[in-house]
Amino acid sequence: MSTSDANDQTGSYVHAGKPFDRDMTYIPDRITVDARDGWPVEAGRYRLAVSRACPWANRTIISRRLLGLEDAISLAIAGPTHDKRSWTFDLDEGGVDPVLGYERLQQAYFARYPDYPRGITVPAMVDVPTRAVVTNDFQQITLDLATQWTALQREGAPDLYPEERRGEIDELNRWMLHRVNNGVYKVGFAGTQSDYEREYRELWAALDELEDRLSRSRYLMGPAITEADVRLFPTLVRFDLVYYSHFKANRQPLFTMPNLWNYTKDLFQTPGFGDTIDVEHIKEHYYAVQTDINPTRVVPLGPDPAPLIDPHDRDRFPTDTWGPGGTAPQPPLAAEVVDPAHTPLVVRGR
């Protein structure tokens, strides 16, 4: 998405009198086994630029972890805030990404498109030799990690996009994108009262459907994790932290919905999911950057994220979390461990 998951870089996302309309035009190039777009799958060639604050980038971080592609694809982590130009690598020493040599992700876009007219978005795959962006198509990136990078995946990597179920997964993902993942933004950035109320009802109708769906199986598609879970989790884990209050999606907190909340806790406690979440980066990004709806830029101290590591009840369902032959991923690389002060995973010594 663009630098605040909306349509531009400036911090201005609410357009009075208009509904929220996300620009869904992205660089369509793909990294594939057959190099159909000129970008072959190759270990060490590409760097995945992300921010832990962004839910769309969070998907790619999770997929990379679950599939064990850390050694094949390096990670450039931008800070949680930005200015009107670009995400910045202000977390790195000297404010410069150590591999690309850039201060701003914008530089990778301009290396390929000097007059790039759209938002400088994360996630983005960058070609290390040329230091130029390859693609920022967040929906395709995770599908390609699952299907094109199989030769470089770890032993025991789960099949997140099983061929026999791709039609079902695609249908559910399209629905979730418009009704839930982007639905919270349609609520939060609505330009009129009537737009807000319509999108609010649409969002909650969809969340009610998911609450019902998750009353019948441990994960969205049954006993095993799939691409659908990778796409839903980043929205759910941010819901009570920011969407409930900041986006006025406040019919009720997620923790009052037993299936959705226990599902969120379950995934948070699953290797590869919760260990990618930086609570402080998430809150700082939304509240400090989106000044149209939080002009003071005050970042709330709450809510307490510690309940994410409370016991859940999802093991009441038939379970094959990693699928046939699959295993849990290894712990994150030392350089990619979330600051312990920013995650509830260590709040109670877990």
Q: Active-site positions?
A: 54, 185
Task: Give bridge partners of residue 222 from the DSSP assignment.
Answer: 219
Task: Give bridge partners of residue 132 from the DSSP assignment.
Answer: 127
**Residue 170: Cβ-neighbour burial (10 angstroms; 0-12, 13-18, 19+):** middle
Residue-wise burial string across 201-232, b where 16 or more C-beta atoms lie within 10 A, e elsewhere: ebbbebbeebbeebeebbbbbbebbbbbbbbb
Task: Give bridge partners of residue 76 from the DSSP assignment.
Answer: 49
Instruction: Give dist(CA 111, CA 131) in Å, integer.
Output: 7
Alpha carbon separation from 213 to 26, 97, 163, 271 (Å, rounded): 31, 42, 22, 23
The dihedral of CA 210, 68, 79, 310: what is its sign?
positive
